[in-house]
Amino acid sequence: MSSKILIWLDGSPTTTLPLPDRGLGFGDGLFETFLLSRGHALFTELHFDRLREGLAVLGMPDCVLEARRHLESAANAISQEGWTWAVLRMTITRGAGPRGYAPPENPSIRILVEGSQIDRDCLQMSSAANVSVAPIRLATQPMLARIKHLNRLEQVLAASFRHAEGADECVVLDQSGHVISVIAGNIFVVSQNKILTPRLVDCGVEGTRRRIIIEKWAPSIGLDVSEAELTLTDLDNADEIFYSNSLVAVRPVATLGKNSWDHYEVCSALFQQFLEEVA
């Protein structure tokens, strides 16, 4: 990945954020990670649906129209860079405000867009991943589950462990030891020709690719996805495991602890659905 980053704040190129900002102060905001193919953002409606949901949960004004406009102009600029693949992170904060936790009644939302190139060819399915289990468990917080807010220290600590382990990803559990996701994506288990994925009630992020797998890609290959309570034992006994996020679409798991898998039929068939969608 190139180290060049293009940044816009509320549509204007910038390299800095005005202070104070509640996104920095309290993580008071949301983000979305868009994959761009030749300057064209993919699955934008899924991202904006989740963003709208997050804005409602945090009691922030609905700024999806502006977000859409800023995404479009950033995507145009990126297509002029000639980047085949790019990732564009959009961060929405509640802007400035008086000191203290209470949000201002009429906040001036800030929309920050950071774009960078991806060197990898996203039309090739990623190699099967070596996965560990993160020691930090996700907090029980039903009021903030599913949305993609800026409070991500759990993911930072888990990713720090992943890096130290040399793993590609980590499974993360909730406080009672149920499987919730990987650090940066949702997890799926194939068992007896069924696809299972964790129910996201108390924690976890409702991924855009998770949603399209459930609603479209899995049905298209003749499989249903059920939400379930999953344990590490269910993962050990799985016929196949894969995870999803906006950058890889779906990626198979090769190893988890002492277990290994070498066939990824369902994951490959779902990746084929992604390819047809993008073509």
Q: Rule CB under 8 A: which residues touch a copy of itself?
A: 1, 3, 5, 7, 14-28, 31, 58-59, 87, 89, 91, 93, 98-103, 112, 114, 116, 136-137, 139-141, 143-144, 149-160, 162-163, 175, 183-184
Q: Which is nearer to a copy of itself, 66 or 114 (CB)?
A: 114
Q: Which is nearer to a copy of itself, 20 or 219 (CB)?
A: 20
> How far apart are CB 147 and a copy of itself at their closest, in Å?
10
Q: Which is nearer to a copy of itself, 107 or 252 (CB)?
A: 107
> How far apart are CB 269 and a copy of itself at their closest, in Å?
28
> How far apart are CB 18 and a copy of itself at their closest, in Å?
6
Q: How far apart are CA 138 and CA 16, in angstroms?
A: 32
Query: Sign (positive/negative) of CA torsion 56, 57, 63, 67?
Result: negative
Q: How far apart are CA 116 and CA 35, in angstroms?
A: 10
Q: Which is nearer to a copy of itself, 150 or 266 (CB)?
A: 150
> How far apart are CB 33 and a copy of itself at their closest, in Å?
9
- Which residues are registered as beta bridge partners of 146? 205
Q: Are 252 and 277 in contact (CB under 8 A)?
A: no
Q: Which is nearer to a copy of itself, 115 or 264 (CB)?
A: 115
Q: Are 51 and 205 in contact (CB under 8 A)?
A: no
The residues, any chain, with a CB within 8 Å of residue 279's CB and separated by 6 or more, are none
Q: Which is nearer to a copy of itself, 123 or 157 (CB)?
A: 157
Q: Are 97 and 109 in contact (CB under 8 A)?
A: no
> How far apart are CB 152 and a copy of itself at their closest, in Å?
4
The residues, any chain, with a CB within 8 Å of residue 116's CB and separated by 6 or more, are 1, 2, 3, 4, 5, 6, 86, 87
> How far apart are CB 44 and a copy of itself at their closest, in Å?
20
